[in-house]
Amino acid sequence: MISLRDLTPNDRETIRHWRNDPEIRKYMYTDHEISPDEHRAWFSRILQDSTCKYWVIVCDAEDVGLVHVSNIDTRNRRCYWGFYAIGPKVRGKGVGGFAEFSVLCFVFDNLKMQKLCCEVLASNQAVINMHKKFGFAQEGLFRKHVLKGDGFADIVCLAMLQEEWHAKRAEIEPKLKARGVI
């Protein structure tokens, strides 16, 4: 069973440990090892920030990842989202699909946003493909946008509009239910 739970102060060190995992870091904008002080400052900031919402992904009663909605812009009714899941034992269980479906429902049904955006390293083709299966459209490419290791990486910009989600949901939801993901 997969679920989301609200982030709590007790999650701080677990999140830092996950974020510093090389398999997670390679898909993030920054790939340096995050210090306890740097993480503490970030964690305190997000707990107070009304323009973001974070959840821990739980799979089979174990915390396995993080999902967030950020840059919530109520005037223009848009926001961004991202997620990661840790460890090979969650692969193939539908964790990514569950996270994506949950965020889409939250953003469009609860927050009443008009647009949900995300940015993905161009090298992370599996996640780009997953977003497109859910109905996200590629809106742009930021060339050589972030420094990764010794070079610069391209970023793929994707987004979905509220009306696109309402049309796509009827296709996605039964598939996820059939797999037991939702």
Is residue 103 over pLDDT 80?
A: yes
What architecture does CATH give domain 2-116+169-178? 3-Layer(aba) Sandwich (3.40)
Mean pLDDT of the chain: 96
In single-letter form, the type of residue at position 74 comes to T
Q: Is the pTM of the predicted complex or chain greater than 0.85?
A: yes
Of the pLDDT bands very low, low, confident and very high (cuts 50, 70, 90), residue 90 is confident
Give 3-state DSSP helix, strand, coil % of the chain, rounded to 5: 40, 35, 25
